[in-house]
Amino acid sequence: MKSSAGEGKITRKQKGAAAEDAAAACLIGKGFRILDRNWRCRTGELDIIAEHEGVLVIVEVRSRSGTGAFGTPSESVDLRKMAQVRNTAMQYIHLKKYHDRPIRFDVVAVMLNADLTPASVEHIPNAF
Protein backbone atom coordinates (compact mmCIF):
# COMPACT_ATOMS: atom_id res chain seq x y z
CA MET A 1 0.00 0.00 0.00
CA LYS A 2 2.24 2.81 -1.25
CA SER A 3 1.38 6.45 -1.05
CA SER A 4 1.89 8.33 -4.29
CA ALA A 5 2.68 12.04 -4.47
CA GLY A 6 -0.95 13.12 -4.77
CA GLU A 7 -2.30 10.93 -1.95
CA GLY A 8 -0.29 12.37 0.91
CA LYS A 9 0.83 10.70 4.11
CA ILE A 10 -0.34 7.26 5.24
CA THR A 11 -3.12 7.76 7.77
CA ARG A 12 -3.64 6.22 11.18
CA LYS A 13 -6.78 4.55 9.79
CA GLN A 14 -4.75 2.91 6.99
CA LYS A 15 -2.17 1.70 9.53
CA GLY A 16 -4.91 0.27 11.74
CA ALA A 17 -6.55 -1.53 8.82
CA ALA A 18 -3.21 -3.01 7.72
CA ALA A 19 -2.50 -4.24 11.26
CA GLU A 20 -5.98 -5.74 11.61
CA ASP A 21 -5.66 -7.50 8.25
CA ALA A 22 -2.31 -8.99 9.36
CA ALA A 23 -3.82 -10.04 12.71
CA ALA A 24 -6.83 -11.68 11.05
CA ALA A 25 -4.55 -13.56 8.63
CA CYS A 26 -2.43 -14.78 11.56
CA LEU A 27 -5.50 -16.01 13.46
CA ILE A 28 -7.04 -17.70 10.42
CA GLY A 29 -3.71 -19.44 9.85
CA LYS A 30 -3.97 -20.82 13.39
CA GLY A 31 -7.45 -22.20 12.79
CA PHE A 32 -9.54 -19.35 14.21
CA ARG A 33 -12.89 -18.47 12.64
CA ILE A 34 -13.47 -14.72 12.42
CA LEU A 35 -17.01 -13.83 13.53
CA ASP A 36 -16.83 -10.03 13.44
CA ARG A 37 -14.38 -7.21 12.84
CA ASN A 38 -14.56 -3.62 14.07
CA TRP A 39 -17.75 -4.24 16.05
CA ARG A 40 -18.91 -0.99 17.66
CA CYS A 41 -21.36 0.02 20.36
CA ARG A 42 -21.67 2.91 22.79
CA THR A 43 -18.91 1.58 25.08
CA GLY A 44 -16.27 1.14 22.38
CA GLU A 45 -15.03 -1.07 19.58
CA LEU A 46 -13.84 -4.66 19.39
CA ASP A 47 -11.16 -5.15 16.73
CA ILE A 48 -11.70 -8.87 16.07
CA ILE A 49 -14.15 -11.37 17.53
CA ALA A 50 -13.20 -14.94 16.70
CA GLU A 51 -13.97 -18.48 17.67
CA HIS A 52 -11.35 -21.12 18.39
CA GLU A 53 -11.94 -24.61 19.77
CA GLY A 54 -15.32 -23.60 21.20
CA VAL A 55 -14.01 -20.45 22.90
CA LEU A 56 -15.18 -16.94 22.01
CA VAL A 57 -11.98 -14.93 21.58
CA ILE A 58 -12.00 -11.14 21.81
CA VAL A 59 -8.86 -9.86 20.11
CA GLU A 60 -7.34 -6.43 20.68
CA VAL A 61 -5.01 -5.52 17.81
CA ARG A 62 -2.17 -3.14 18.60
CA SER A 63 0.39 -1.88 16.14
CA ARG A 64 3.47 0.23 15.84
CA SER A 65 5.47 1.33 12.85
CA GLY A 66 9.09 2.31 12.70
CA THR A 67 11.77 1.55 15.26
CA GLY A 68 9.71 0.70 18.30
CA ALA A 69 11.10 3.74 20.14
CA PHE A 70 7.73 4.18 21.84
CA GLY A 71 7.59 0.61 23.16
CA THR A 72 6.10 -2.55 21.79
CA PRO A 73 2.52 -2.71 20.56
CA SER A 74 1.47 -5.08 23.34
CA GLU A 75 2.84 -2.69 25.99
CA SER A 76 0.25 -0.14 24.88
CA VAL A 77 -2.64 -2.21 26.27
CA ASP A 78 -3.13 -0.46 29.62
CA LEU A 79 -5.66 -1.07 32.40
CA ARG A 80 -8.09 1.50 30.97
CA LYS A 81 -8.02 -0.21 27.56
CA MET A 82 -8.51 -3.64 29.14
CA ALA A 83 -11.55 -2.38 31.06
CA GLN A 84 -13.01 -0.78 27.91
CA VAL A 85 -12.56 -3.97 25.89
CA ARG A 86 -14.13 -6.07 28.66
CA ASN A 87 -17.14 -3.73 28.93
CA THR A 88 -17.63 -3.69 25.16
CA ALA A 89 -17.28 -7.48 25.05
CA MET A 90 -20.07 -7.81 27.62
CA GLN A 91 -22.33 -5.76 25.34
CA TYR A 92 -21.42 -8.00 22.39
CA ILE A 93 -22.06 -11.19 24.37
CA HIS A 94 -25.43 -9.87 25.55
CA LEU A 95 -26.59 -8.77 22.09
CA LYS A 96 -25.37 -11.93 20.32
CA LYS A 97 -26.66 -14.18 23.12
CA TYR A 98 -23.29 -15.89 23.70
CA HIS A 99 -23.87 -16.15 27.48
CA ASP A 100 -23.05 -19.86 27.62
CA ARG A 101 -19.71 -19.62 25.80
CA PRO A 102 -16.28 -19.57 27.43
CA ILE A 103 -14.48 -16.32 26.58
CA ARG A 104 -10.92 -15.11 26.58
CA PHE A 105 -9.08 -11.94 25.65
CA ASP A 106 -6.09 -12.08 23.32
CA VAL A 107 -3.78 -9.41 21.93
CA VAL A 108 -2.19 -9.46 18.50
CA ALA A 109 0.80 -7.13 18.34
CA VAL A 110 1.82 -6.05 14.83
CA MET A 111 4.97 -4.18 13.83
CA LEU A 112 4.49 -2.51 10.44
CA ASN A 113 7.06 -1.60 7.83
CA ALA A 114 6.91 1.86 6.19
CA ASP A 115 4.87 0.38 3.29
CA LEU A 116 2.35 -1.10 5.80
CA THR A 117 3.45 -4.69 5.28
CA PRO A 118 3.80 -6.57 8.57
CA ALA A 119 7.38 -6.80 9.89
CA SER A 120 6.20 -9.07 12.72
CA VAL A 121 2.94 -10.42 14.11
CA GLU A 122 2.81 -11.74 17.68
CA HIS A 123 -0.32 -13.49 19.01
CA ILE A 124 -0.65 -13.40 22.80
CA PRO A 125 -3.45 -15.71 24.01
CA ASN A 126 -5.08 -14.91 27.39
CA ALA A 127 -3.36 -11.52 27.43
CA PHE A 128 -5.77 -10.12 30.03
**For the chain (length 128 residues), average pLDDT per consecutive 10?**
56 94 98 98 97 98 75 76 96 95 96 94 96
Give pLDDT, residue 61: 97
Host domain of residue 84:
12-124
DSSP state of 37: E
Establish if 64 belongs to a structural domain: yes
**What's the pLDDT score for residue 10?**
86
Q: Are 51 and 57 in contact (CB under 8 A)?
A: yes
Report pLDDT for 70: 62
Instruction: Say what the pLDDT of residue 1 is.
Output: 46
Q: How far apart are CA 98 and CA 59, in angstroms?
A: 16
Residue 1, in any domain of the structure: no
Is residue 94 situated within a structural domain?
Answer: yes
Residue 27 resides in a domain: yes
- The Cα 117–Cα 90 span in angstroms is 33
Give the model's pLDDT for residue 3. 43
Q: Is position 115 within any domain?
A: yes
The pLDDT value recorded for residue 27 is: 98
pLDDT for 121 equals 96
Q: Cα–Cα distances in Å, from 19 out to 73, 97, 107, 117? A: 11, 29, 12, 8
- The total domain count for the chain is 1
Please report whether residue 4 resides in a domain.
no
Q: Does the reported pTM lie above 0.85?
A: yes
The CATH number of the domain holding residue 104 is 3.40.1350.10
Specify whether the CB–CB gap between 107 and 77 falls below 8 A.
yes
In a domain, 87, yes or no: yes
> Does 3 map to a domain?
no
